[in-house]
Amino acid sequence: MQWGFSTDIKPILKQAMVNLGNILDVDLSAGTFTASPYPEAMIQRCLGGRGYNVEHLFSRLPAGTDPLGPENILMISCGLLTGTSAPASSRVHVNALSPQTGILGSSNVGGFFGSRLNAAGVQTLILRGRAPKPVCIFIDKEDIRLMDAASLWGCDTRETRERIKAGYPKASLSILAIGPAGEQQVPFACLMTDQDHAAGRTGMGAVLGAKNVKAVIVCRRPARNGSLSETQALVIKDYFEQIRKSIHFDYFHRHGGAGYVDWAHDMGILATRNYRSNRFDASRDLDGKQLAKYRVRAKGCHRCPVLCKADLFFHDGPFQGEEAVRPEFEPMVALGSKCGLSQPAAVTHLDSLCARLGVDSISAGSLIAFAMDLFDRGILTRKDTGGMDLTWGNVAAMEILLHQMAQRKGFGAVLAQGIKKAASEIGRGADRFAPHVKGLELSAYHPFHIMGTALGYAVSSRGGDYNQLYAALEYGWSQEKARAELGTARAVDLRSIHGKGALIRRAMLVNIALDNLGICKVPALSLIGAFDLKNEAALAAALMDRPISPEPLFEAAERTANLERLFNLKHGMQPQEDDLPSMFFEMSAPAAGAESRRLDWLNPMVRDFYAVMGWEENGIPSENTLRRLGLEDALKGMKDWKKAG
């Protein structure tokens, strides 16, 4: 492979090497780089990762910015502990203005990219402008280059990875790449790394594609752990042991998140046939346990003992001979029960296709389910779909639609706009069956039987999503713990609306803190499940060699939560958008026990959440809250936002 121009900035990097590494700022339009040390003050203010990103973007992206224009800024940040000896310290957070929602784009990814970026001396990668032609960004500890990527444009993510690695046969590379969907700027295009890890939601792949960047290549293997102090070793060992001793550890190791489909059915929270139902009659057939016979080996992310992923080989059936990676819980639902598909091998095949095309499997599956629902209702016909039969569970049609969406062709071009705009274009009442909040398609839990998740969908800073709140305490905590920690035992009654404001506030802040630290949520929240940040504070204190308690982690997370809220208000979000789709108020609601009305169940939870967050009744952070958090500078535009609210 012939690579093009390069720019060597060894002196800049060498001068800037301190502690957490550098902020590497790339002006793609000019082809220039600058590097500076990560500010010590930011450790106390926001830790790293997600927190640092929103601090930077809030002050630098003016209202009216085009998400796909060169003025948008894409940030890729390691958490405070990413790449360290801390267990499960693999995560990287990606932010920009979202082309899918028009508000904060936010996604998180594990694997090994973060640990290698950290080893190369980069804490945060900032991408500005737009390259005049397709490029890859190559990062080593002593070398940064822009490389001609014309020959890679058009390749899927697997081909991209293989061709880049073929050009560096002896190097240890980690590659974050876009597929055809990112090149076509599909608003739910994702970033893929290490074959099977996705920064999936809110269209960060479209932003990278709009900047003419095909991939970020990191050529650096993390150094072996140096000698740890006795205290450090004990804290790390304790965290590992808490993960391993979880009652769910062995099951999660064997089946991953895919093994919880049947559980969600039993709980009555499994999104089925575009949320027409909260149970799927074929959930046992779809459940990830059915993939165990195809498992070749378990695998996982940097420093994680769970190894919740697995390589599969299909030795029988319609996909005989295919190699794949076992899907996570969300794609099992999005491409499975949401679409009426009960064949786990077919879901795996489709999920692999999403990864290669570079589309968010949650949004893609939700869009297909939406189209199938409209087809079943007669709102769409074969004339609309180009002759395709979109009956529930039609695998062949689903595969065609995925290709069409990634290439913006045929009926797939309509869906490729995202569900909100697609429903508007289709018309004929299609918007009544479009499950999204703020333009982001909902994730796997059906909101009727799980009120905390329903509230989380409504108030999440990136739109209708579970993972950014990950409120597993709602079904993991005892009533006694809920009473002690949240003020009422009813907070963990799935069908009760009481105490949900405090519950979602706790979940939100803990999730932000983990994103700021770079710690994976599966071991921290699904397995250990403490939601108190004591373990994570002990890890940070030991590895930073300074006193750190949970309180500053919570405070930094609260600061991030309020800045994300202000960012969204600044970019046009209206507080009344903290809502659920109308489709959920046109059905009977088991949680309310009668006809569903916002006034009965959703509105009280939203008001409760605003109150515990220290926000005004209109959902805007109060001046007292912002001053308490040291966000006085953010008050400047408050009068305008209050008027808008």
Domain boundaries, the chain: 10-219, 262-434, 447-644
Closest C-alpha to 360, from 188, 165, 141: 188
Closest C-alpha to 189, from 271, 96, 274: 96
Q: What does the pLDDT look like over 543-566, one tens digit per residue?
A: 988 899 999 999 999 999 999 999
Structure tokens belonging to residue 628: 């308490």
Cβ proximity of 297 and 246 under 8 Å: no
Q: What are the strands of the beta sheet with 32-37, ordered from one edge? A: 32-37, 22-27, 122-128, 74-78, 92-97, 104-109
Q: Is the dihedral of CA 179, 353, 422, 572 positive or negative?
A: negative
Angstrom distance (rounded) from CA 73 to CA 571 = 14
Buried residues in 296-315 as b, exposed as e (16+ CB within 10 A): eeebbbbbbbbebbbbbebe
The tally of CA atoms less than 13 A away on the side-chain side of residue 603 is 9
Burial label for 571, CB within 10 Å (0-12, 13-18, 19+), is buried
State the pLDDT at residue 220. Answer: 76
Q: Does domain 10-219 have CATH number 1.10.287.110?
A: no
Residues of the chain short of pLDDT 70, as ranges, are 1-19, 221-226, 587-596, 637-645
Give me the torsion for CA of 558, 561, 562, 566, rounded to 10°: 170
State the pLDDT at residue 643. Answer: 58
Angstrom distance (rounded) from CA 439 to CA 144 = 37
Angstrom distance (rounded) from CA 393 to CA 370 = 12
The pTM score is: 0.95
Cβ proximity of 455 and 494 under 8 Å: no
Angstrom distance (rounded) from CA 370 to CA 398 = 12
Q: What is the mean pLDDT of the chain?
A: 92
Q: Who's near 324: CB < 8 A, 6+ residues apart?
A: 311, 312, 313, 314, 348, 349, 351, 352
The number of angstroms, rounded, from the C-alpha of 286 to the middle of its chain's C-alpha atoms is 23
Residue 124, strand partner residues: 23, 77
State the pLDDT at residue 52. Answer: 97
Q: Annotate 273-312 with three-state secondary structure.
A: CCCCECCCCCHHHHCHHHHHHHEEEEECCCCCCCCCEEEE
If one looks up domain 447-644 in CATH, what number appears? Answer: 1.10.599.10
**Residue bearing tokens 């639609």:** 401
376-379-381 Cα angle (round to 5): 75
CATH architecture under which domain 262-434 falls: Orthogonal Bundle (1.10)
Closest C-alpha to 527, from 512, 509, 514, 544: 514
Burial label for 248, CB within 10 Å (0-12, 13-18, 19+), is middle
State the pLDDT at residue 351. Answer: 98
Cβ proximity of 499 and 486 under 8 Å: yes
Question: What are the distances in angstroms from CA 292 to CA 251, 287, 309?
Answer: 11, 10, 12
Cβ proximity of 489 and 483 under 8 Å: yes
Closest C-alpha to 451, from 330, 608, 618, 260: 608
Angstrom distance (rounded) from CA 204 to CA 555 = 27
Cβ proximity of 105 and 96 under 8 Å: yes
Q: Who's near 127: CB < 8 A, 6+ residues apart?
A: 26, 28, 73, 74, 75, 76, 137, 208, 211, 213
Angstrom distance (rounded) from CA 450 to CA 495 = 6
